[in-house]
Structure 1
Amino acid sequence: MSATDTVTLTLAQVEELCHSVLRRHGLGEAHIAPVTATIIAGERDECASHGVYRLLNCVHTLKSGKVVPDAVPVVDHMSMSLLRVDAAGGFAQLAFATGLPHLVEKAQATGIAAMGINRCVHFAALWPEIEALTGRGLVAFACTPSHAWVAPAGGTSPLFGTNPIAFGWPRPDGDPFVFDFATSAVARGEIELHRRAGKPIPLGWTIDAQGNPTTDAEAGLAGALLTFGGHKGSALSAMVELIAGPLIGDMTSAESLAHDDGAKASPYGGELIIAIDPIGFLGGAAAEHVQRAESLFDGITGQGARLPSRRRFAARRRTPEAGCRIPRTLYEELAALA
C-alpha cells in the first residue's frame, strides 16, 4: 500500500479520533476511555484487524441497540477465588477494568482465581486483558465465544465462534510471553479486511454456503470459517464454548447469533479469565522457578524460532515515533463518523 493510500496518525490522534467517534454516537463517558484503550492497543501493535477498523462495528452495534451505552458493571464475589462481573449489556472493557483489582487480589490471596464476565459485548483481542495480569506478575488465561461463524471439523454449517484463547507468562526482564489466537483458521476481521480491499483469501480459511472451499472473501463470510488444525482446533473451540458459556451461565456462539437477530452487531455473551500467582504454588522459591523458565524461551529463540507477540512488541516500540498507518478510505469513513 503506497503512502498516498494511507494516512499516518500519532497515537494521540488515534485516541482523539476514537473519543470523537464514540462520544458522537452515544457511548457513555465511563466506557469511552477503556474501549479506546483497546482500539489504540491494536493500532499501536500494528494489528490492523483489531485497531480503528473496529470503530465501525462499535458504531454499528451502538446504532443497532445491541449494546447498553451507559451500562454500570456489578461485581459479585462468589467465593475466595471466584468472582463474576455483570457487564449489564455493555462493552466488555469497563467490566474487565471493574473486576481486575478484585481478580488480582483473589489470585494473590489464594494462589489462583477466576473471573467470569457476563452479559458483555466483546469486539476485541484478548491480549489487553492478559497483559494487565502479567504486568502484575500473574500467569493468565482468557477465552470467549463469539457469534456462530465457524463450522466444526467435518461439518459445513456455522456452529462455533472464532473463540479466541489467550495465555500470558510474566518474565522478570522484558516483555511477557503472550499468545492470543482464534481457534478458527483466522480472525473474522482479517477476512473482512480482505473483502474491503478486494483481495482474495487463502484456501483453508473458509468454505462457501454450499460447503465448498473458496478464496472469495464475500463468499467465505456468507458461508463458514474453518477451525485451525482440523479436529484439534475444533475441540479447542468446543472447550471455549463450554467454559466461557454454560460454565459461567452465559451464551454459546449459536445463542449469541440468535440474540443478534440479524443486526450484525458485535458478539454478546461471556468471557472467562483465570489468574495464577506463582507465589501461591512456590512461595519464596517463585522467583527461582520463574527464572528457570527463561531457559525454555532461550531454547526457542536460540534456534531461530520466534516467540509469539514479538512482532507486536517490536511494533509497540516503533509506533510512538513512526505513527500508525491507516488506509485512507478507512480514515475518511471514520472521520465522517466523527
Structure 2
Amino acid sequence: MSALPMAQAQALASAALQAAGASPAMAEAAAQALVLAEAQGLASHGLSRVPQYAVHLRNGRANGQAEPVLRHRRGAALVVDAGGGLAFGACALAVREAIAAARELGVGFAGVVRSHHCGVLVDHLRPAVAAGMVGLAFGNSPAAMPAAGGKRPLFGTNPVAAAFPRAAHDPLLIDLSLSEVARGKLMVAAKEGRPIPLGWALDAQGQPTTDPQAGLAGSMLPIGAATSPKGAMLALIVELLATAVIGAQFGFEASSFFVDEGNQPGIGQAFLVIDPGALAGTAAYFARTEVLVAQMLADEGVRLAGARRLTLERQAAAQGLHIPEALLAQLRALAG
C-alpha cells in the first residue's frame, strides 16, 4: 500500500480520465467523486473504477466530450440529459436544480437520462443536506439481478440513498444497493482472487456460487432473496422510478459496466429534494430529528447511518489514501 494525499489522488485520477478522452470538467467531477468514495472506505466505488471508466471512454461507451444540459422542466419536475457521458456532472446539475425547485416550491424532483455509472449515490445528496434539505436518490444499472421467482438478470442492483440534515451535527447518510451486496464487491474480489460468500450471487446457470467471476457472468441475488421477494419488489420500484418515469434505459437494455465493449448504457438517476420548511417547519424538523437520534443512541451498540464513512473520510483527509501498489501503478500508466 502507498499513502497518497487526496488532492494528489484526485489529480492522478483526473489525468488518467483526460488521457482517455474525458473533458477536464468531466474528469474532475468523476475524480473528485471516486476519491471521496475511496476516502470513505468504499473501494468498490473508488479509484478501482478509473481503469473501467477509461476503457469506456476510449471505446465510446462513454462520451468524454458530453456536457450535461437541462432538457426540460415543468413546475418542480425536471430532466437533465447527461449526453452519454460520465454521470457526475449531470447528477450535480440535477441536484442543484432540484434544490432550487425545493426552495421555490417545497419539493424538487430531477431525473438524469442517458447516464452512466454514478458512483456512491448518497454523495450526490450532500449539497441538499448542506442546504438544510432532505434528499432521496434512486438509480438503475445494467441488468444483474432477477425479478422475483426468476433466474435471468433483468433489474440492476438499483441503489437507493437518503440524506437527512441535522442541526450542528453530521447528517444521516443512508446508501444501499438492492442486491445482497453491491456488484462492485464481486469485481474487487475477482481482482484479488478471493471467493465470495454463498448468498451473494448465482452463476450463469442460476446456481449459487462462491466464484466472483462466475457471479459477474451470472446474476446478483436481491436482498433477502433466500426468504422473501421483498428485495426484488423494491428493485422493481426503483427500476421504474429511474427509467420509465424519467425516460431512461432499462437495465436489460444496457451493456454491463464490467465489459469493455458494448453500448452507452443510457441508464437513469432520480433525485427528490424536500424542504422541511414547507412541511413541519425547519425548526420542528431539526428538533424532532434529534428526539429520534437520542432514542437511537440510548440503545448501546447503535451506530448512526453514515458515521463510519464520515470518520474514515476525515482520517483520509488528514493521513492520505492507502492505495494498493498495483492500482497506483495502473493509474500512473493511464495518466501517462
Q: How does the TM-score come out when normalised to structure 2?
A: 0.94
Q: Which amino acid aligns with 1:219?
A: A
Change (3 A) 1:207 1:101: closer
Could you tell me which residue of structure 2 aligns to residue 28 of structure 1?
23
What's the CA shift for 1:262?
Answer: 7.2
Q: Distance in 2 between matches of 1:23 and 1:151?
A: 36
Could you tell me which residue of structure 2 aligns to residue 189 of structure 1?
184
Could you tell me which residue of structure 2 aligns to residue 74 of structure 1?
69
Q: Which amino acid aligns with 1:323?
A: G
Could you tell me which residue of structure 1 aligns to residue 139 of structure 2?
144
**Structure with the higher helix share, 1 or 2:** 1
Could you tell me which residue of structure 1 aligns to residue 304 of structure 2?
307
Q: Distance in 1 between matches of 2:167 and 2:285?
A: 11
- The 5-angstrom pairing of residues 1-338 of structure 1 reads 6-230=1-225, 231-257=229-255, 263=261, 267-282=265-280, 285-303=281-299, 304-338=301-335
Contact 1:61 1:67 in 2 (8 A): yes
Change (3 A) 1:129 1:30: same
Contact 1:153 1:234 in 2 (8 A): yes
SS of 2:255's equivalent?
Answer: helix
What's the CA shift for 1:123?
Answer: 4.0
Q: Deviation per CA, 1:180-230: give whole Å up to 9, x if none.
A: 110011111111101111111011100111211111111111111100122
SS of 1:131's equivalent?
Answer: helix
Change (3 A) 1:267 1:202: farther
Q: Which amino acid aligns with 2:135?
A: A
What's the CA shift for 1:103?
Answer: 1.6
Q: Deviation per CA, 1:111-167: give whole Å up to 9, x if none.
A: 111001111112411122111211111111111110001122332111110100001
Q: Distance in 1 between matches of 2:47 and 2:75?
A: 38
Q: Distance in 2 between matches of 1:135 and 1:246?
A: 30
What's the CA shift for 1:21?
Answer: 0.4
Contact 1:57 1:265 in 2 (8 A): no
SS of 1:17's equivalent?
Answer: helix
Contact 2:156 2:235 in 1 (8 A): yes
Contact 1:153 1:226 in 2 (8 A): no
Q: Distance in 2 between matches of 1:197 and 1:259?
A: 19
After superposing on structure 2, the runs of 4+ consecutive aligned residues of structure 1 that deviate more than 6 Å are 258-262
Contact 2:34 2:49 in 1 (8 A): yes
Q: Which amino acid aligns with 1:245?
A: T
SS of 2:31's equivalent?
Answer: helix
What's the CA shift for 1:74?
Answer: 1.6
Q: Deviation per CA, 1:12-48: give whole Å up to 9, x if none.
A: 1111211210111110122122111111111121211
The gaps in structure 2 that reach 5 residues or longer are: none
Q: Percent identity?
A: 35
Q: Distance in 2 between matches of 1:289 and 1:259?
A: 40
Aligned length: 331
Q: Which amino acid aligns with 2:312?
A: A
Q: Distance in 2 between matches of 1:54 and 1:266?
A: 16
What's the CA shift for 1:337?
Answer: 1.1
The gaps in structure 1 that reach 5 residues or longer are: 1-5
What's the CA shift for 1:287?
Answer: 0.9
What's the CA shift for 1:10?
Answer: 0.9
SS of 1:257's equivalent?
Answer: coil
What's the CA shift for 1:261?
Answer: 9.3
What's the CA shift for 1:96?
Answer: 2.2
Q: Distance in 2 between matches of 1:177 and 1:75?
A: 29
Q: Distance in 2 between matches of 1:259 and 1:12?
A: 27
Q: Deviation per CA, 1:58-111: give whole Å up to 9, x if none.
A: 101101101111112221342221111111111111112233332211101111
What's the CA shift for 1:265?
Answer: 7.3
Q: Distance in 2 between matches of 1:153 and 1:300?
A: 33
Contact 2:14 2:30 in 1 (8 A): no
Contact 1:123 1:267 in 2 (8 A): no
Q: Distance in 1 between matches of 2:211 and 2:311?
A: 32
